[in-house]
Amino acid sequence: MEDAIFFEDIEEGSVFYSRGRTVTEADNVIFTGLSGNYHSIHTDEEFAKKTQFGQRVVHGVLGLSIATGMQNQTAQGTWKNAIFMELVNWKFLKPIFIGDTIKLETRIASKRQTSKPQWGIVQTERTLINQRDERVQTGFSNVMVWTRNGGDPS
What is the 3-state secondary structure of 64-76? HHHHHHHHHEECC
- The domain segmentation of the chain, as residue ranges, is 4-150
Query: CATH number of the domain at 4-150, please?
Result: 3.10.129.10
The alpha helices in the chain, defined as continuous H runs, are 25-35, 40-43, 45-49, 60-72
| Model pLDDT, residue 1 | 43
Decide if pLDDT at 154 tops 70. Answer: no
pLDDT digits (tens, 9 = 90+) for 65-118: 999 888 777 767 677 667 788 888 999 999 999 999 999 999 999 999 999 889
Quick one: pLDDT at residue 5?
Answer: 82
* pTM recorded for the entire structure: 0.85
Nearest 5°: the CA angle 44, 47, 49 is 105
- Sheet architecture: strand order including 73-74: 4-5, 77-79, 73-74
